[in-house]
């Protein structure tokens, strides 16, 4: 349930992102901060960061390499669109070594946040009804945590990477942030229907100075479907024992 309601990572399985249309909770309006738009403009890029030649796949690989860190914290804002309806989910993801993870998200107008937390041995999921599901971590490679939405931005970059053959690059600003936009087309899967909206394009916005993936968004025939923003990132900062105990232990 957390997988479907949170980051829709498991929907990125084939050539398109699928939006399921049914809201888990009452829809909310766009926050003003979520409406920061990309403005294309020349940006001086550091060759030590982006490399000698700016190539979409190479940039994604460089970004993934930076994300391959045992310690990671980021705020997440997900905006899902269905016609004139919008649902915004916000929360935080924390990752630590040995598959320790905590994802806490408030979905739309829901009163209680959804939670997924793992101490490396046991995974606890708590839905908006407050009922916990606790079980041993069954996958030692961490794929189980990705399915719960705890994979972070790397999950999205890897999913889009195989669609970069016709990618287009340009620099610009997201608000005051200098970014590199990677835009690529997606081929809708004809097997997916039932009134669902399939994505036809994807845009990735990498911070020009660090290659942190600040935003990933999907559109269907020019209309927004899903936007995921990764804000306030902290990568590589080791947490104290007290912090780890507080974040990665499930206490009903």
Helices (H), 68-168: 143-147, 153-161
- When divided into structural domains, the chain yields a total of 1
Convert the pLDDT of each residue in 72-81 to its tens digit.
999 999 998 8
67, β-bridge pairs: none
Residue 19 lies in a domain: no
Q: What's 91's domain CATH number?
A: 2.50.20.10
**Strand ranges across the sheet with 213-220:** 38-40, 168-174, 177-185, 201-207, 213-220, 223-235, 72-82, 85-96, 100-107, 114-119, 122-126, 132-136
Number of C-beta neighbours around residue 99 at 10 A? 20
Return the pLDDT at 34.
46
CB 32 within 8 A of CB 214: no
Would residue 154 count as lying in a domain? yes
Residue keyed to tokens 């923003």: 229
SS3 of the chain: helix, strand, coil, percent, to 5:
20, 40, 40
pTM greater than the 0.95 cutoff = no
- For residue 14, name the pLDDT band (cuts at 50, 70, 90): very low
- pLDDT value of residue 117: 95
Does residue 215 lie in a domain region?
A: yes
Q: Is 18 among the domain residues? A: no
Find, among 161, 177, 240, the residue nearest to 209 by Cα.
177
Please compute the mean of the pLDDT values over residues 220-233 and round it to a whole number: 90
Question: Among 2-6, 9-13, 220-224, which stretch is predicted with the lowest mean pLDDT?
Answer: 9-13
Q: Is 72 a member of any domain?
A: yes
pLDDT at 197: 61
pLDDT score of 18: 31
Helix (H) or strand (E) holding 248: helix 241-248
Q: Indicate whether 16 belongs to any domain.
A: no
Residue 17 lies in a domain: no
CA atoms of 182 and 167, how far apart (whole Å): 6
Residue 21 lies in a domain: no
pLDDT confidence of residue 7: 42
190-214 per-position pLDDT tens digit: 555 444 567 889 999 999 999 999 9
- Name which residue leads in pLDDT, 93 or 166: 93
Domain residue limits at 139: 2-11+26-248
pLDDT tens-digit readout, 114-160? 899 999 999 999 886 778 889 998 876 778 888 888 999 999 999 89
């Amino acid at each position: 349930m957390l997988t479907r309601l949170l980051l829709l990572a498991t929907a990125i399985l084939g050539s398109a992102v699928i939006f399921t249309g049914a809201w888990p909770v009452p829809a909310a309006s766009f926050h003003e901060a979520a409406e920061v738009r990309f403005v294309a403009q020349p940006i001086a890029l550091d060759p030590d960061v982006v490399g000698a030649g700016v190539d979409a796949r190479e940039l994604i690989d460089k970004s993934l390499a930076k994300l391959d860190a045992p310690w990671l914290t980021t705020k997440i804002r997900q905006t899902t669109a269905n016609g004139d309806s919008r649902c915004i989910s916000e929360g935080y993801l924390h990752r630590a070594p040995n598959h320790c993870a905590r994802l806490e998200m408030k979905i739309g107008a829901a009163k209680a946040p959804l939670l997924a937390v793992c101490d490396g041995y046991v995974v606890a999921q708590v839905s908006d009804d407050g009922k916990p599901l606790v079980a041993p971590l069954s996958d030692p490679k961490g794929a189980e945590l990705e399915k719960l939405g705890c994979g972070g931005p790397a999950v999205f970059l890897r999913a889009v990477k195989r669609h970069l053959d016709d990618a287009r690059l340009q620099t610009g600003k997201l608000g005051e942030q200098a970014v590199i936009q990677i835009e690529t087309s997606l081929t809708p899967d004809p097997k997916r229907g039932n009134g669902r909206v399939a994505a036809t394009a994807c845009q990735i916005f990498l911070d020009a100075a660090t290659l942190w993936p600040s935003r990933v968004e999907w559109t269907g025939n020019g209309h927004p479907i899903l936007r995921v923003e990764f804000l306030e990132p902290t990568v590589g900062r080791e947490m104290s024992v007290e912090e780890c105990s507080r974040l990665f232990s499930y206490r009903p």
